[in-house]
Amino acid sequence: MPTLREVLELFDDNNTVINIELKGPLCDDIKAGYDYPLATKMVYELIKEFDLTSDICMVSSFVPEIQNNMARFNGGGEFALHRLVNRDNIDMPSLASYLAPDNMDGLNLSACHLTEEIVLQNHFEGKKVGVWIMARDLAENEDLWKHLIDIEVDFIYTDFPVDATNFRDQQVEKASRKESLVSDTSTRDSESAYSSKLDLSYHQ
C-alpha cells in the first residue's frame, strides 16, 4: 500500500482532485492511546508541503476527534473539510443531524439515506453535499447518477469513475443544447427554470 506522500507525489502538478479520508481506531482500548493531534498534524503538514488548496483537496472522516483536530488546522480554509456520516449505512436520528457543522465545508453521506431536504438545508447554509455508495446496499447506475444530479448533489464517490464521468458530461451537453433552444425562443420563464439544472450538471 502506498503512503500518502507517494500518492501526492504521483498526482503532483496535474490538478487532480484528491479526497483524503482519515481513518481512526474503533476499539476503545486502542482509541485511548491514539494520538489524534499528531496523526492529523502529519496529514496537514503534507497538505501544506504539496500546496493543496480547497479546490483540489478534500479531507473527510467518520471520526469526530479527527474532524475536530483537522478543523483546528484549517482556520484559513486551506483545504475542504467534510464530515462523513452513516458508517455501516446506519441512519442518523434526525434531519438536523445531517447538517454539516459550522467548522466544516460540507457533508458526505450514504446515498441510501440521501434526501432532497438534506441537500437543501446544507446548501442554504453554504455547505456542500457529497454521497458515497455501498455496492451491497444500492445499485450504482445511470438512474442513480441522474437522481443525484437532479437534486443537486455536489460530488459523488463512485466505483465507476469513467462511466460516471461520461454520463455527467452527457448531461452537461444535453443541458447546453436545451439552454440554446430556450435562448433561441426567448422564453424567459423557461430559461430561468432550466438554468438551475444546467448549473448542477457541472457539479463534481
Confidence tier at 197 by pLDDT (50, 70, 90): very low
> Which residues touch 151 (CB under 8 Å, ≥6 apart)?
114, 116, 119
- Entry pTM: 0.82
190 has a pLDDT exceeding 50: no
**In this predicted structure, what is the pLDDT of residue 9?**
94
- Distance, CA of 51 to CA of 36 (rounded, Å): 22
How confident is the model over 140-163, as a mean pLDDT? 95
148 has a pLDDT exceeding 90: yes
- Distance, CA of 201 to CA of 22 (rounded, Å): 29
Report the percent of the chain where pLDDT is more than 70: 89
Residue 104 CA: distances (Å) to CA of 34, 145, 159: 23, 25, 25
pLDDT in tens, 84-139: 999 999 999 999 999 999 999 999 999 999 999 999 999 999 999 999 999 999 99
42 has a pLDDT exceeding 50: yes
pLDDT, greater one: 138 or 180:
138
Which of 71, 59, 132 shows the shortest CA–CA distance to 104? Answer: 71
**In this predicted structure, what is the pLDDT of residue 125?**
97
176 has a pLDDT exceeding 90: no
> Rounded to 5 degrees, what angle do the CA atoms 43, 45, 46 make?
65
Report the percent of the chain where pLDDT is more than 90: 74
**In this predicted structure, what is the pLDDT of residue 26?**
83
